[in-house]
Chain A
Amino acid sequence: MWSYVARRVLATLPVMGVVAVIVFLMLRLSPGDPAAIIAGDHATSEDIAQIRERLGLDRSLAEQFVWWLGQLLSGDLGTSIYLDRPVLGLILERVEPTLALSISTMTFAVALAIPMGVVAAWKAGSWIDQSIMALSVLAFSVPVFLIGYGLVIGFSLTLELLPVQGFVSLAEDPVGFARHLVLPTVALGLVYTALLARITRATMLETLNEDYIRTARAKGLAEPRVLILHALKNASVPIVTTIGTGLALLIGGVVVTESVFAVPGIGRLTIDAVLQRDYPVIQGVILVIAGVYVLVNLAIDLAYSLLDPRIRY
């Protein structure tokens, strides 16, 4: 087991290497003088020269790469041009909201979608199944921002139950933290709920037709045990894959929701950085998100071997 984990971790290094090269080239190969682009329309030539020097753009490409990689490996993702602060620090500051929102969204989706999918498959063809599937089509089709604004209007402005927007740190005020998370979680979670419910239903339908399910029933097991222990465990590999990739997508893609609800997370950081052409920040965010994707995929692979004993390393 541990040697498998070690091998899988090592195998992520080339992937991260390729990501690093692409991120590095992104700035260097952008058309025109990157320093001028970064400096913006109203910059003086001194400003541009200063930026060029700071980014090491006056040296050769190879030299620049080695220097940049060295910085990277020592944990230095560069300095934000706009805010003049270390990129790593900026990202770490924004990690809590993004992580909190991603995890709460996925927990919400899993808690809702798995029972829905299981029941839909169990009662396939019935009105329960049809209503669950109709709801999931609806949840899947309505854009996140629309659901988001709808929820704000309903629960914040009309009923005044929940805050309109913003974020409170867990350490600061746990109740406020939870209250601020509810609406963005629901807005973002509905799409994932729909997706997961459909995947769960499809894989469960397949599993419920297996001979071993008939065996389980022939042993006199009650339906909940047949469904959960015997069927869901067998159906779990595709479900876990969807949860994992969904979580990775969430961490990288909460941009819209964070904007709607003014959550100061990675998504906001990315938007601000793009608008301000803050290249070091953009690079840092891409690197970190790529790293998260790689780690999540690693975690999914490791989960497979725990769920299905036939998957060996």
Chain B
Amino acid sequence: MAQEPVLAVESLRVEFATGDAPPVVAVSDMSFEVHRGETLCIVGESGCGKSLTALSILRLLPRPYGRIGAGRVLLDGRDLTTVSEAEIRAVRGRAISMIFQEPMTSLNPVLTVGRQIAETVMVHEGLSWQDCMDRALEMLRQVRIPEPERRLHEYPHQLSGGMRQRVMIAMALACRPRVLLADEPTTALDVTIQAQILDLIRDLQQETGAAVVLITHDLGVVAEMAQRVLVMYAGSKVEEGSVEEIFDAPSHPYTRGLMAAMPHLGGGRGKRLNEIPGVVPALDARPPGCAFAPRCMQAVARCHAEAPPLVQIGGTHTVACWAHGQGARA
């Protein structure tokens, strides 16, 4: 793509202070770009650092221990890691919005949904309260909430889970952001509602041209939504490519493991699903070499000793595994 990326994350490191001990690194050397109208899916198991990556873009890491240790986050070329608190606030909810996993707990229970949407508009666009409420109503219509006039004045507990997530989306898109970070937006919802929410995000993306970073552990969602896919394991990127590259030729053993763990129609009923043996290593107990080596069937001595670099193996396809590129076994 010739066009400049809207959002570029460069060599980001997220770490947690631990008193006097050296900080624990939760995400290391994370880089990716996302362009206007494009959807990038970040995939990985729980605890691999997907959400932290997203939160660090908006500098919303859990306080007071979480912090960005290194790297840059460029929004249209401007580094968000160094701007003032007031400047990052002006970006949050306006240029970059975020949707969270739990619509049940992510909306304020004591404020009406209309007020919660209108507030974002008021803070960023300084319109009169009435105009902000009008925008909130319009947003509820856009996210296809039935009877929006009534819902506007209701509280989150009066809405269903799917409707609450629609409210979250309405809130996130109220100021027409250029980037939407969606952190597992459908995980907490029924399967039928999931499809509706994904359709909605896609439709609104087409309308507004927003770049979407969709975090998920569900490869079904990836296949449905992504143009590009980034696979994370234990805080690092292990593979990245277009959705075709990743699905046609998954190259990291971890990516292949994720694919194999996906249930298939006609895959033989009653057959056990494949799983990746072992668990993700704890943050402070990561092995010196490739973090996946202890769980990897193909691991060789080098994998345990030295972390593999990212190498390009196709058009836009990169992978961090000794089995590929210069490090490939002879």
Q: Return the contact of A219 from the options B64, B155, B171 (Cβ within 8 A).
A: B171
Residue B123 CB within 8 A of the other chain:
yes
CA distance A310 to B157 in the complex (A): 7
> In the complex, A242 Cα to B45 Cα: how many Å?
44
A211, A214, A220, A225: the one within 8 Å of B124 (CB)? A220
B1 interface residue per 8 A CB criterion? no
CB pair A216–B108 under 8 Å, yes or no, is yes
Are A309 and B155 CB-contacts (below 8 A) given A212-B109, A218-B93?
Answer: yes
The number of inter-chain residue pairs (CB within 8 angstroms) is 72
Q: How long is the Cα–Cα vector from A310 to B90 in the complex, in angstroms?
A: 32
Give Cα A233–Cα B110 distance, bound, in whole angstroms. 7
- A208-224 vs B, CB cutoff 8 Å, 1 = contact: the mask equals 00111011111111100
Minimum Cβ distance to chain A for residue B132 (Å): 12
Complex CA gap A310/B156 in Å reads 9
Across the two chains, which residue of chain A brings its CB closest to B108? A212
Chain A 165-224 interface residues, beta-carbon cutoff 8 Å to B: 210-212, 214-222
Q: Does A125 contact B (CB under 8 A)?
A: yes
Contact of B108 among A218, A220, A222, A234 (CB under 8 A): A234
Looking at chain A's contact residues, the main secondary structure is helix
**How far is A219 from B124 in the complex, measured between Cα atoms in Å?**
9
Report chain B residues within 8 Å CB of A307: 110
Asked whether A268 is an interface residue with its Cβ less than 8 Å from the other chain, the reply is no
Q: How far is the CA of A214 from the CA of B60 in the complex (A)?
A: 7
Identity of the chain A residue whose Cβ is nearest the Cβ of B105 in the assembled complex:
A211
Residue B98, interface by CB 8 Å: yes
Residue count of chain B within 8 Å CB distance of chain A: 28
Chain B residue contacts of A218, Cβ below 8 A: 58, 60, 92-93, 97-98, 100
B80 within 8 A of A: no
**B123 and A221 contact, CB distance less than 8 A:** yes
Question: Chain B: which residue is nearest A215 at the CB level?
Answer: B106
The answer on a CB contact under 8 Å between A220 and B110 is no
> Does residue B91 face the partner (Cβ distance < 8 Å to A)?
yes
A230's partner among B91, B108, B171 (CB-CB below 8 A) is B108
Shortest distance in angstroms between B193's beta carbon and chain A's nearest beta carbon?
19
Is A214 touching B93 in the complex (CB atoms < 8 A)? no
B119 close to chain A: CB less than 8 A: yes
**B89 A220 Cβ-Cβ under 8 A:** yes
**Could you tell me if B91 and A220 are in contact, using CB atoms closer than 8 angstroms?**
yes
* A54-79 interface code vs B (CB 8 A; 1 in, 0 out): 00000000000000000000000000
**B123 in contact with A211 (CB, 8 Å):** no
Distance in angstroms from B147 CB to nearest chain A CB is 18
Residues of B within 8 A of A220 (CB): 89-94, 120, 123-124
Nearest first, the 8 A-B pairs at minimum CB distance are: A220-B92, A220-B93, A219-B93, A211-B105, A212-B108, A211-B106, A218-B98, A309-B155
Given contacts A211-B106, A219-B97, A233-B110, 12 further A-B contacts (CB under 8 A): A211-B100, A211-B102, A212-B105, A212-B108, A215-B108, A218-B100, A219-B171, A220-B93, A307-B110, A308-B109, A309-B155, A309-B157
Chain B residues within CB distance 8 Å of chain A: 58, 60, 64, 89-94, 97-98, 100, 102, 105-111, 119-120, 123-124, 155, 157, 168, 171
